[in-house]
Structure 1
């Protein structure tokens, strides 16, 4: 609904209406007037007279039952009513209204044509009345021109005109202010009676909410701070030392060339120990891009290699928290502390599955590894984010239903609580939570929240209070707000992820069906209330802007969580129960995206979208292959093709070689000596071009069995 424009009906100030049970409110279809029908006389007033007293008429609207307008005849009358002349002076209009009021009370009206005071009998036929809980929206010059165009279309093309008028709905558009009873034959009336009983019992709480609200919020804040401090900011000691917080993906080895030649940048002294502390829900973090382990690769799983040999040895690039959960040090839901010991070089990592964690095997040598030491107390090491979630859900429920804050207070409390719950409990950007980043992202969230209230929430949330449905407000808003998106197995809506991620295609199909159903329902409500073409206009403008942005070269359109919520929120500005669910859901979706990742750009380069995945750079080719490997073994080398002239012109000048997933070679030469390799073990070779020190994509692994001169060519594509 448009904001900033006063609606016509709410500007009419008649304080006595609230006490008149027989008063009726109607909108004229043939004059530039709003007509209030009182017992025995009629009072009319031009629609665009501005006054400052809205509350009395709002009360009158709640007390006045109305009748619904339906049918083409009423719609046509509505079209004619929307095409009206505007008065040139607000002051003169007020004078006319006062004169008409006096004349109506005395039983006569002044003729607008001759200016005489001739008495005329009151009108005996009334125009269609507005439904209960509905007021008229504003009508601007664009609306008047559009309605006049619809009249001309219907005169020339009746079928097309009727269809367009049906799509347009009532004119002026309706602003609904109350909810009907829950639409179930038995549940609805029972729920309504229960709401009335609760409202009666909790009436003192509402009268004193300006005092109870700050007291309750202070208690809520103190409890939240206590739980967050106990979970993340209290220093924990163990007999082996103070544990260090680590993230779910922390390890002691970086992929590909990250540790330097021969892994010298990731060396650890064998026998040294490290005491660590892991957060909860570490297994929710997965590899989004393929990760090569020998000739195989894994994705959409935790990175764990080894752990099932006799001494439970893990490769150094294994994620420590996931490996500790597999080893049984603590559970995923609470996190915990542990101690590991560095082993150094190890051969023959054995994979397996335990405690919900699957590890991979690696049948050759890796220069760094670790094992867990079991004697670590878990006292004070548990992550309390599940307790914080339960606490916030319970307190928000009590706040909404028992404290009964005003709609605007309810919105801002929900926004702030959600933002800080995300930053300090559910999805902190680091461990312990980084307050600097949280405050940096909180300010933009407040500005977007102001737009949410202005253009969507202020139309829907007050309707629950006007209707007395506080229990329903609590259920619908909080259900959408607190429900997590974790059940959808899609992290990035890219074609590759949809195809590769387990259950991704099914999830997208279900999501699309759900969104289509939601959009169709909202379109139905938008048409019924007369806002269809208004929203069509602005969404068409937004779609055109997005289309232009998507066409910019070198950039890709990325629909982040927060952008999707911002785009969809205006479509929920209608007084229905589904709108409340969608508003809560979209607000939680926006907060999750904005507080976890920040307000990322809607346009991003391919490199930023890929992250640590393949970039699509050229791939070198091995000269050594399955047919000639014996001759190369005799020479003691592995060889590959030189850089072509075309690639040289693009800046490629050397090669990078990984042997057994370790960076071994960086040179413009085209061969590598096998002299330092153990001939009794299998070995894996991956090759990439380098451009001024920047390494491109590596090939998939070629497998070499030196002892029997067997070579398995790499599969096509990058690793």
Structure 2
């Protein structure tokens, strides 16, 4: 038994010495590695000098500095260098300009316990919300009053309560529209910025002229055609301010037989035409009436929100709280101040705005969560550059929230071939814009390469490009890169701690918020019908005028009968003619005057019956357009462009090719 115990003690002693020797060997190896790391760190510091906005990858809390990511396989190829980045990745950092200002919020935060800081934050957000609600209520949510009567809140463009739209939208002789009710008074409130917002974006006929990319205001000297946009005309007349909006009253004054003058006033040049129109309106004086809730306070609201958000962005360092706070503030600023999506004068327009806002807010916040995870958290977590975050991130955010002002001078509407060709200077502006974006992308790509993450990012963007190319080939669809789509695509490339990345991310998040708040989550694929904005459908075939039959009359006028191609003749030569067409619609001076099955119309008899004995003092020039139509139903095909007929001379001008 004793020999067994002695052998056991001997074995235990040998095992102890072996373990002690192994520990000594490990310590020696660690010491050797540490010495090697120190030498390599010193060499890397001498090479980089920490002068280029980048630091060594990793930190001093135990992460191994020298850890070659690739085995020694000899010199790396250019392709491997491009895809894999430098052998020792470089972590970017924000340049600490004004160091004391950068770290001041952190110094202040250490002076207070967590409960106090949270209380201050809650009170600050509550006061901010309260100020915003009071101003928004006075600006857009309270019911505007003129005297004791309610005024309708309008948008700057078409007003369905007054005139539904062009061509046959108001029915025969325009009788379906409120504007044809002579003597009626209409009270209204207009928002601010109606000079630009009263433009038309598809060709809209005014006699022989086609209005596009300009305010749709016809007339002057306080006499306006009834289909003129009311708020644009109110700015033109000086009734409301382009900067602060205002309230007004119009009275419908019946037919205007000798046309409408063109006049430049208050930043708008109105459209003139010699053609008559069955309805017009004039503005009434409201100086003796009390007005309440009439002014648009968007300038004050925007200014207050920018100032309070700068303070918020300086002291709030938590990435999630920072992002969601600014997103909600920017979202409601767009909805209720800078670019409200007014639908056109509902009786409860304020309630509709609130409902619409919450309908869009929830999916916007869910998208913000994705932005937070992929972009904002990696960039702002543990960021000590509080001053840079405030100056660059928050300023970029508000530049984008106010994109309808900041980028208003750019001759860009929508990035579709039709719109780019239609607006002068659009292609040049697009080329410049793409060049700027590409230069920024190259700078961000370099940051990504220095981090050693170029390969996954280039794979991501190549996949996105491939998907977009594939979507562009979907039949009968147009690829539409809305605000929110291309910002979501670009945002992952901004999630880095560099000063330019702060600005780029703020800008892109602001564009996302403003796009969703104003235009909602529109589809990336849209049909032509969804995009045409009142433009021709190019379906069902086109009618064609023939030479009119002109007979010399005994008086001032010639007896003129308009003629156009019959449906039977059209179907023999064009198989695309819709089988549902069984008649015709004739537009005279932008109002439907005939709907029936005859392919002729005596315009002289119609003019005498409508206006009595015509003389030289009354407009004798008429602009005519024709389309195929359903007589029983309400469908109408595309109208021809305007032909011109003069009753006293018999002059006939053939319509230009195309439809409108």
Same fold (TM over 0.5): yes
Q: Deviations over 1:262-288 (max 9, x none)?
A: 111015432221221111112221211
1:666 CA displacement: 2.1
Which residue of structure 2 aligns with residue 702 of structure 1?
643
DSSP 3-state at the match of 1:694: coil
How far apart in 2 are the matches of 1:103 and 1:652? 99
The correspondence for 2:308, drawn from 372, 391, 395, is 395
Which segments of 5 or more consecutive residues in structure 1 lack a partner in the other structure? 1-101, 111-117, 137-145, 182-187
Q: Does 2:409 match 1:485? A: no
Q: Does 2:387 match 1:471? A: yes
The correspondence for 2:168, drawn from 257, 269, 272, is 257
1:496 CA displacement: 2.2
Which residue of structure 2 aligns with residue 605 of structure 1?
527
**Conserved 8 A contact 1:103-1:109:** no
Q: How do residues 659-698 of structure 1 correspond to structure 2 at under 5 angstroms?
A: 659-674=588-603, 675-678=605-608, 680=615, 681-690=620-629, 693-698=634-639
How far apart in 1 are the matches of 2:510 and 2:561? 58
**Conserved 8 A contact 1:205-1:212:** no
Which has the higher mean CA deviation after the structures are superposed, 452-461 or 126-135?
126-135
Q: How do residues 617-656 of structure 1 correspond to structure 2 at under 5 angstroms?
A: 617=539, 618-624=541-547, 629=550, 636-642=560-566, 643-645=570-572, 646-647=574-575, 650-651=578-579, 653=581, 654-656=583-585
Which residue of structure 2 aligns with residue 361 of structure 1?
272
Q: Deviations over 1:390-433 (max 9, x none)?
A: 111011011122x3342221111111111122222222222435
Which residue of structure 2 aligns with residue 31 of structure 1?
none
1:162 CA displacement: 3.0
Pairs aligned (count): 578
**Conserved 8 A contact 1:179-1:463:** no
Structure-2-length-normalised TM-score: 0.81
How far apart in 1 are the matches of 2:253 and 2:526? 42
1:500 CA displacement: 2.3
Which residue of structure 1 aligns with residue 26 of structure 2?
109
1:631 CA displacement: 7.8
Which residue of structure 1 aligns with residue 135 of structure 2?
227
The correspondence for 1:320, drawn from 216, 227, 230, is 230
How far apart in 2 are the matches of 1:703 and 1:205? 80
The correspondence for 1:712, drawn from 637, 653, 660, is 653
Q: How do residues 287-302 of structure 1 correspond to structure 2 at under 5 angstroms?
A: 287-302=200-215
1:294 CA displacement: 0.2
How far apart in 1 are the matches of 2:565 and 2:379? 67
Which residue of structure 2 aligns with residue 448 of structure 1?
367
1:378 CA displacement: 4.7
The correspondence for 1:371, drawn from 282, 290, 312, is 282
How far apart in 2 are the matches of 1:615 and 1:120? 77
**Conserved 8 A contact 1:459-1:573:** yes
**Conserved 8 A contact 1:108-1:119:** yes
After superposition, the Cα gap between the structure-2 partners of 1:241 and 1:393, relative to the gap in structure 1 and judged at 3 Å, is same
Q: Does 2:486 match 1:564? A: yes
**Conserved 8 A contact 1:328-1:355:** yes
How far apart in 2 are the matches of 1:412 and 1:326? 41
How far apart in 2 are the matches of 1:470 and 1:104? 52
Q: Does 2:297 match 1:384? A: yes
Which residue of structure 1 aligns with residue 146 of structure 2?
238
How far apart in 2 are the matches of 1:105 and 1:463? 40
How far apart in 2 are the matches of 1:581 and 1:455? 16
How far apart in 1 are the matches of 2:113 and 2:443? 34
DSSP 3-state at the match of 1:448: helix
How far apart in 2 are the matches of 1:201 and 1:120? 41
Q: Does 2:376 match 1:457? A: yes
Which residue of structure 1 aligns with residue 345 of structure 2?
none
Q: Deviations over 1:368-391 (max 9, x none)?
A: 111001224555411111111011
How far apart in 2 are the matches of 1:684 and 1:173? 72
**Conserved 8 A contact 2:194-2:242:** yes
Q: How do residues 172-183 of structure 1 correspond to structure 2 at under 5 angstroms?
A: 176=92, 178-181=93-96
DSSP 3-state at the match of 2:362: helix
**Conserved 8 A contact 1:689-1:695:** yes
**Conserved 8 A contact 2:217-2:233:** yes
1:578 CA displacement: 1.4
How far apart in 2 are the matches of 1:258 and 1:195? 61
How far apart in 2 are the matches of 1:429 and 1:194? 39
Structure-1-length-normalised TM-score: 0.75
Which segments of 5 or more consecutive residues in structure 2 lack a partner in the other structure? 1-18, 45-53, 60-68, 343-348, 609-613
Which residue of structure 2 aligns with residue 135 of structure 1?
58
Bigger RCO of structures 1 and 2 (CA < 8 A, at least 6 apart)? 2
**Conserved 8 A contact 2:642-2:656:** yes
**Conserved 8 A contact 1:206-1:405:** no
Which residue of structure 2 aligns with residue 409 of structure 1?
321
After superposition, the Cα gap between the structure-2 partners of 1:132 and 1:273, relative to the gap in structure 1 and judged at 3 Å, is same
**Conserved 8 A contact 1:561-1:589:** yes
DSSP 3-state at the match of 2:217: coil
